[in-house]
Amino acid sequence: MSTQTIIDDLSNRLSELIAKTPAADIKKNTHALLSGLFVKMDLVTREEFDVQTAVLARTRAKLVELEERVTLLEKKG
């Protein structure tokens, strides 16, 4: 039996053992508690943050463009 097979077998047995103990419930409860806490803290995901960062960058670029156009129009008028 290879070392990797032994490690995999041991890992599987430990996972099964843990699943049958209160540790599995603790893990689920902790996950639920933290998820609820993060929702209450009004946190955003990395994906949402990245999307808003891209929107802000486009908005800033448009603002710079509009400021330049206004400046040109003021010089002409």
d(CA 28, CA 20): 13
> Is there a single domain that holds both residue 3 and residue 31?
yes
Q: pTM for the complete prediction?
A: 0.49
Return per-residue pLDDT of the chain as tens, 77 residues. 678 888 888 888 888 877 777 777 787 788 888 888 877 888 888 999 999 999 999 999 999 999 999 999 999 97
Percent of the chain as helix, strand, coil, to the nearest 5: 85, 0, 15
What sign for the dihedral angle of Cα 18, 23, 29, 34? negative
> Is there a single domain that holds both residue 12 and residue 33?
yes
**The domain containing residue 16 runs over which residues?**
1-42
Question: 44: phi > 0 → left, psi -120 to 50 → alpha, else beta; which?
Answer: beta
d(CA 55, CA 64): 14
> Is there a single domain that holds both residue 38 and residue 22?
yes
Mapped onto helix, strand or coil, the DSSP state of residue 77 is: coil
pLDDT of residue 28: 79
> Is there a single domain that holds both residue 38 and residue 48?
no
Structural domain count, the chain: 2
